[in-house]
Structure 1
Amino acid sequence: MYHRFVATQVRKAFAEITAGNWEAMVAGMAPSFTYRFYGDHALSGERHTHDALRRWWERCFRLLPNTRFDVQDVLVAGWPWDTRVATAVTVDVGVADGSRYQNVVHQFLRMKWGKITEVRTLEDTAVLQQTLDRLAAAGFEEAHAAPITD
């Protein structure tokens, strides 16, 4: 029953982000957390504060507005004091240059008493980098900005 509840909450969180409400995800972070997006690009890096995570989400939605997240799988293990979650999520965005960005994101989360303590995000960084390169070429300088870290 607990695992089903957590999976439902994860799906709701992605639905909220798709609706543009990424602040709900930030609010779900524990006071002390690690949010890591792998790669070497404008969206990569590691964040540990709510402020840095907000700035990161703001950048995401400036570069990839109206991102649609479609949750394929949510796997939950553990108990409320040490919950592990794995997701597979497809991403689809109409990019400002007229192209589409589509990718599959895999996230691994750890939770403690309903708050997220760790997020590790992996996706095909070559596909993401190509999209960021196209955006930079179209004048979106932030697509080649340094990662937001703290």
Structure 2
Amino acid sequence: MVDGLGDPFTYHFHGEHALGGRRSSRDAMIRWWQRIVDLLPGARFTIHEVIVRGGPWRTRVAVRSSVRGPLPDGGVYSNTVFQFMTLRWGKVTEVETIEDIQVLVRALEVVAASGSSEAEAAPIVD
């Protein structure tokens, strides 16, 4: 994901939680992806629909997917994810990610209750 980002780029994940925020540097994106792996290590994504429009100078992409993975209490995190992206000449310049914030926050609360203070951390932004 990080290697596919353009220069400049903006990645916005909606919500005030540990995975939320707006990032525009490679370093912040690497830290953000590491946080996802740390908080939801078994999460897997399934792509359900991709819509593409535009030429290579400005390609718009909409993705509907789902994410699912185990939680530390034995439960399962399951959510729907919508992403809207802009690519310029094959590089991602904008990403906006939206998912059910209530479901995500509940999952982060379970992760925090298992001892991960990072699940309650402020968003990674720059």
Q: TM-score, normalised by structure 2?
A: 0.98
Q: Report the counterpart of residue 92 of structure 2 in structure 1.
A: 116
In structure 2, C-alpha distance between the alignment counterparts of 1:53 and 1:108, rounded to whole Å: 17
In structure 1, C-alpha distance between the alignment counterparts of 2:11 and 2:47, rounded to whole Å: 19
In structure 2, C-alpha distance between the alignment counterparts of 1:97 and 1:48, rounded to whole Å: 34
Task: Indicate the structure whose relative CO is greater, using CA pairs within 8 Å and at least 6 residues apart.
Answer: 2
Question: Which digits, 9 at most, give the CA deviation of each residue in 1:52-89, with x for residues without a partner?
Answer: 00000000000000211000000000000010000001
Confirm or deny that 1:33 pairs with 2:4.
no
In structure 1, C-alpha distance between the alignment counterparts of 2:11 and 2:65, rounded to whole Å: 17
SS at 1:56's partner residue? helix
Confirm or deny that 1:54 pairs with 2:30.
yes
> Which residue identity is paired with 2:38?
R
Confirm or deny that 1:44 pairs with 2:27.
no
Gaps in structure 1 of 5+ consecutive residues: 1-24
Q: Report the counterpart of residue 138 of structure 1 in structure 2.
A: 114
SS at 2:54's partner residue? strand
Q: Report the counterpart of residue 45 of structure 2 in structure 1.
A: 69
Query: Cα RMSD between the aligned structures?
Result: 0.6
Q: CA deviation at 1:44?
A: 0.0
Which protein has the bigger helix share? 1
In structure 2, C-alpha distance between the alignment counterparts of 1:97 and 1:63, rounded to whole Å: 13
**Sequence identity (%):** 50
Which protein has the bigger strand share? 2
Q: TM-score, normalised by structure 1?
A: 0.83
Q: Report the counterpart of residue 128 of structure 1 in structure 2.
A: 104
Preserved CA contact (<8 Å) 2:58 2:86 = yes
> Which residue identity is paired with 1:47?
R
Confirm or deny that 1:82 pairs with 2:27.
no
Runs of 4+ in structure 1 off by over 6 angstroms are none
Gaps in structure 2 of 5+ consecutive residues: none
